[in-house]
Amino acid sequence: MLANAAHIEEATANNIPYIDVDGLKAFNKDKTKIKKWCKKYDVLLASDSVAKQVTKLLGNVLVKLGKFPVALAEGEKLLDKISEGGMDSLSKSELKQLETLRRRLRGE
């Protein structure tokens, strides 16, 4: 989860790993660090405000890896996006990524 302040609180409460803008800046567009970090996750979610900055902060590494984050609107709940109710506007690959994340959160 690439999170802003509101989503950081929600991610912490639900035991979901997150990184904020300062953490993304720490990568300093180093491709090997970004790849190593990114490979730990099947899907990336991002707060809408952070999603707009991802390419600027990380470069195009996530696009090349096929792991560009799924945007999460400001008022949208994190668990709602992961659950099946918030999947109407997602592409097939995003749905597949979120299904994998959902299974991992359930411990399957």
Six-digit token string for 72: 């999460």
Overall pTM > 0.85: no
Interatomic CA distance for residues 104 and 107, integer angstroms:
5
Buried/exposed 66-76: b ≥16 CB within 10 Å, e otherwise: ebbbbbbeeeb
Q: Which of 102, 104, 105 is nearest to 87 (CA)?
A: 102
**Tens of each residue's pLDDT in the chain, 108 residues:** 888 888 888 888 888 889 999 999 999 989 999 999 988 887 788 888 898 888 888 888 888 888 888 888 888 888 777 775 444 556 667 777 777 777 777 776
C-alpha distance from residue 30 to each of 13, 70, 72, 76, 108 (Å): 30, 22, 25, 31, 33
Domains recognised in the chain with CATH numbers: 5-106 (3.40.50.790)
